[in-house]
Structure 1
Amino acid sequence: MNAPGPSASYRTDTLTFENSFAQLPPAFYTRLMPTPVPSPYLVCASTDAAQLIGLDPAEFTTDDFIQTFAGNRVPSGSIPLAAVYSGHQFGVWAGQLGDGRAILLGDVPGPASGYPTLELQLKGAGLTPYSRMGDGRAVLRSSIREFLCSEALAALGIPTTRALCVVGTDLPVMRETVETGAIATRMSPTFVRFGSFEHWYYKDRKEELKILADYVIDRFYPELRDTPNPYAAFLTEVTRRTARLIAQWQAVGFMHGVMNTDNMSILGLTIDYGPFGFMEAFDAGHICNHSDQQGRYSYRMQPGIGQWNCFALGQALLPLIGTVEDTQAALEPYKAEYQTKLDDLLHAKLGLQTKMPEDGKLVDAAFALLQANHVDFTLFFRRLGSLKIDDAAADEPLRDLVLDRPAFDAWAADYRARLKQENSDDSSRKIAMNAVNPKFVLRNYLAQIAIEKAQDKDFSEIKKLLRVLEKPFDEQPEHESYAQLPPDWASHLEVSCSS
């Protein structure tokens, strides 16, 4: 495939489609066409995501764009398919799953993505053989949430699949109530997940397991082919990427909500947005998924679940790696990789340029303060950047977030003492901290406001919120209201696996 030049832009009808996954044997997928929807219309689209594939944003308003990403018109070169996979859901083996409402159109050149190509997938494009009891559709509510959060995490610098657009339809879709249907176009170098390997392991089909592993290694990890044991090296690299990803989640207070093995990317990307949430009033035990009755996927559990999932992948790859010892060795880097990444991120969040032996106690005390007072996570770290070493009076906006003022004052005194140890400069430290502590995140209530307007076919709030989230570290004083504490009514919002 020939990628466009630096200034070239594709039209929808000139995007060059292939489908590398379709070159695998038929057992890996089912070829099928998306199910058309009546009277599709554009809900939202991301210019930043379009630029990854050289697509001209002027296309967003064209009928060709809307019909293509509604699933009504299949582009030339596309080989639509739904992939099969399995997985552990809430720690229990769930057996065969697969793309129950997602249809892969194929790969297009991804000149600005860091990968040669990106796969475009329609979520909500109709029934597939893997739909089980589902209807193959997605609703407007969840599609908007996925669109906004995909682009928000990308702007935060966290590895993620991307969202090109959401196309709406008045087709009714039944969830707890009748809702408006929608199709979200997702973009990723690959949608292969941990459960893709588990599928073949639990079916005891080593040949297919090897075919899939070779496909992934050759396409995404070619540098591992020359290692003594490419499959062990592959497991190690996925383990490391997963550990780093979850450290990044923890550092911004992001909670995925449903970290099943079928929702874990083999590239270490955030994938399959459902009942996610960003931490507000800090509680390490917070559960953002109303369906998660046991708290398996709470904020504090995410690092351990990430490791558990890597072990599940290791189990699936054991027949290729060869021995239990080699598999365990390949998994060994997880804890150190996670801790090193998180330590680096937390030092940056606190504006510390050096590392000292007692830093762990200072960090632990900060999180104990947040926990005891249920301090807003995002606002605390953002306002911390304005703290001055020799002027406690400047602390008031930060201090106002903490109910136990004496406890805050005691921690702030220790923090100031630590800053003085490295001769920290207030001005430069604030710049550095504001570059890593976002002012704006996708709070649930902000998404809810945009969704409610969209349900009346007013999509202006989605567009406005997207612009804010695309620059999460900027001050954006004209959008100050988007950085405020959530209103009281927001405490009643719930998201579940149906979200």
Structure 2
Amino acid sequence: MRYQNTYVNLDTRLYHEQPPTPLDNPRAGHFNTPLAQQLGWADDDELMARWVDILGGQYVPTAFKPLAMAYAGHQFGQWAGQLGDGRGLLMAQVLDNNDQLQDLHLKGIGLTPYSRMGDGRAVLRSTIREYLCGHALTQLGIPSSNALGFVVSDTKVRRERMEAGAALMRVADSHIRLGHVEWITSFAPDLLSEFTDYMIDTYYPKCRDSKAPVLAFLTAVVERTARMIADWQLIGFAHGVMNTDNLSITGSTLDFGPFGFMERFNPAWINNHSDHTGRYAYQNQPAIGHWNLNIWLPHFMRLEEVTRDGLSDCLAPYEATFMQHYQQGLCRKLGLPHEKDSLTLAFEWLTLLEDNLLDYTNSFRALLGLIAPDEHPYEQQLLATMTAELDQKAQKVWQDWSISYLAQIELVSFEQAINDMRAHNPVYVLRNSMAQRAITAAEQGQFEEVNRVFNLLADPYQVQDIATELDSTPPTPNAPQMPISCSS
């Protein structure tokens, strides 16, 4: 691998260098071979031979420089003070085959100075969920951390019950969070200028060409965050815990706790059972993204070149960027151009889904069975299943809407419409029930289901022979949702 360990060269107040605390008897869970090839890991015989030892914390390659990052954050809208990597270490930074800087971050490695009341460990169920979700979002085309692999061990970890300890090597284009800047301005304000320069030079070098590089950098973070959250909304993904310490400066999805992919469409869906007020409900994610950035930006007022008006200008593009990206994406999901009539149809369609609690993923994909049934037998069956759930009143709404929709489709390139719909409406997302079946088998020492789901999600926009009926079956309407908490 091409190592580029630069974070370790920053001021030592920003991190704590330490090795991982080994797990007992680590064993292979799953390994992401395509990602290993992208990183250059697959070209190193030692790394390939000892990947279980490395992820289990029993061996640290010489080129690795493990450290725990310090950061702070606002959690559920409240200042939480110092946080930091309480169970993870940034092990190394490398350039991948695309010359993209990637962080290798080992999660579940034991206590650090930032562990607070935690035990520094991760359990198998949450590790599998994060492993599969990062993979799922990446293959869906949404900026996200991914993972090289995970191991399970004989180390026992207590959560609601005793569970098997596990560790995961997370790969992300950055692990710098909004909370890093919050920590600096609270505990080491003299580092803000140096750290801002590092963020710009490392992650946003093109901003150096601007007359005001810092403001250009801040605007770019705002716009990337808006596009990321628009991507979440379009695919039906709910992060579940959008604290400022869980948002990356690069606009890539980071930290998978109580996440979920929308099944029965309900914009007020709360997927985190600890979120009693619904702060992080699916429909609130765009507003929370804005709130987090609005909390983050004023910290840069300490820099001489930054003014309050300048920061206001940086935040201003958020709403327009989000709305344009979301509306364009929504029209593509329907195979229509981004224009007023298309948006009217799109929002009528979402209302139909919400009023009848139809499955979000299946219903969008089913529209291929409406406009080109002969080419899409699978989608034709989805359409039949969907319409069978509609009562008489809803059937009339559906018939009226479908007539208007087909009339709009006739005005556009049919081939382009089909291509857009296939490319933006997945057949498969990581439903909670899918993840749970893989977890249940893995807790019995059987990882075949993890592998099957991993392979299924590797090509989510194509109908696959390895799929089962359960992979596309939503819960019954109004069924109690599977409780997903921050406990991991």
> Which TM-score tier does this pair reach, normalised by the shorter chain?
over 0.9
The aligned amino acid for 1:148 is L
Distance 1:401 1:259 in 2: 34
Show the counterpart of 1:493: 482
Q: Following superposition of structure 1 onto structure 2, how do residues 34-73 of structure 1 map, counting pairs within 5 Å?
A: 34-56=20-42, 64-73=50-59
Contact 1:29–1:84 (Cα < 8 Å) also in 2:
yes
Q: Following superposition of structure 1 onto structure 2, how do residues 165-176 of structure 1 map, counting pairs within 5 Å?
A: 165-176=149-160
Contact 2:92–2:104 (Cα < 8 Å) also in 1:
yes
Q: Following superposition of structure 1 onto structure 2, how do residues 258-269 of structure 1 map, counting pairs within 5 Å?
A: 258-269=241-252
The aligned amino acid for 1:364 is F
Distance 2:45 2:239 in 1: 32
Contact 1:440–1:482 (Cα < 8 Å) also in 2:
no
Partner secondary structure for residue 225 of structure 1:
helix
Show the counterpart of 1:330: 314
Show the counterpart of 1:8: none
1:473 corresponds, among 446, 454, 461, to: 461
Show the counterpart of 1:415: 405
- Which stretch of the first structure deviates more once superposed, 207-216 or 317-326? 317-326
Contact 1:386–1:430 (Cα < 8 Å) also in 2:
no
Show the counterpart of 1:103: 89
Cα pair distance change 1:390/1:48, threshold 3 Å: closer
Q: Following superposition of structure 1 onto structure 2, how do residues 266-277 of structure 1 map, counting pairs within 5 Å?
A: 266-277=249-260
Distance 1:433 1:138 in 2: 38
Show the counterpart of 1:10: none
Distance 1:59 1:428 in 2: 45
Show the counterpart of 1:459: 447
- Residues 129-175 of structure 1 show CA distances to partners (whole Å, capped at 9, x for unaligned) of 00000000000000000000001100000001110001111110000
Distance 2:479 2:65 in 1: 43
1:26 and 2:9 correspond? no
Distance 2:467 2:227 in 1: 31
- Percentage identity across aligned positions? 40
Cα pair distance change 1:323/1:262, threshold 3 Å: same
1:359 and 2:348 correspond? no
The aligned amino acid for 1:139 is V
Contact 1:16–1:77 (Cα < 8 Å) also in 2:
no
Show the counterpart of 1:375: 358
The aligned amino acid for 1:162 is N
Contact 2:272–2:483 (Cα < 8 Å) also in 1:
yes
Show the counterpart of 1:288: 271
- Which stretch of the first structure deviates more once superposed, 363-372 or 95-104? 363-372
- Residues 381-419 of structure 1 show CA distances to partners (whole Å, capped at 9, x for unaligned) of 01112213899x965344235442222112212212222
- Which stretch of the first structure deviates more once superposed, 310-319 or 29-38? 310-319
CA RMSD of aligned residues (A): 2.2
For residue 191 of structure 1, report the CA deviation from its aligned partner.
Answer: 0.4
1:145 corresponds, among 129, 136, 159, to: 129
Contact 1:289–1:497 (Cα < 8 Å) also in 2:
yes
Distance 2:338 2:61 in 1: 54
1:448 and 2:436 correspond? yes
- In the superposition, the TM-score normalised over structure 1's length comes to 0.91
Cα pair distance change 1:283/1:487, threshold 3 Å: closer
Show the counterpart of 1:130: 114
- Residues 301-325 of structure 1 show CA distances to partners (whole Å, capped at 9, x for unaligned) of 0011111111122122222252110
Contact 2:26–2:53 (Cα < 8 Å) also in 1:
yes
2:218 corresponds, among 235, 239, 245, to: 235
Cα pair distance change 1:485/1:491, threshold 3 Å: farther
- Which stretch of the first structure deviates more once superposed, 405-414 or 193-202? 405-414
Which runs of 5 or more structure 2 residues have no equivalent in the other structure? none
- In the superposition, the TM-score normalised over structure 2's length comes to 0.93
The aligned amino acid for 1:408 is W
1:304 corresponds, among 278, 287, 296, to: 287
The aligned amino acid for 1:145 is R
For residue 57 of structure 1, report the CA deviation from its aligned partner.
Answer: 8.4
Cα pair distance change 1:366/1:59, threshold 3 Å: farther
Contact 1:99–1:128 (Cα < 8 Å) also in 2:
yes
2:387 corresponds, among 399, 402, 409, to: 399
For residue 344 of structure 1, report the CA deviation from its aligned partner.
Answer: 1.1
Cα pair distance change 1:401/1:45, threshold 3 Å: farther
For residue 212 of structure 1, report the CA deviation from its aligned partner.
Answer: 1.2
Cα pair distance change 1:137/1:60, threshold 3 Å: farther
Distance 1:260 1:267 in 2: 15
Show the counterpart of 2:67: 81
Distance 1:270 1:333 in 2: 20
Cα pair distance change 1:182/1:57, threshold 3 Å: farther
Which runs of 5 or more structure 1 residues have no equivalent in the other structure? 1-14
- Which stretch of the first structure deviates more once superposed, 101-110 or 139-148? 101-110
Distance 1:16 1:223 in 2: 22
Partner secondary structure for residue 233 of structure 2:
helix
Partner secondary structure for residue 424 of structure 2:
coil
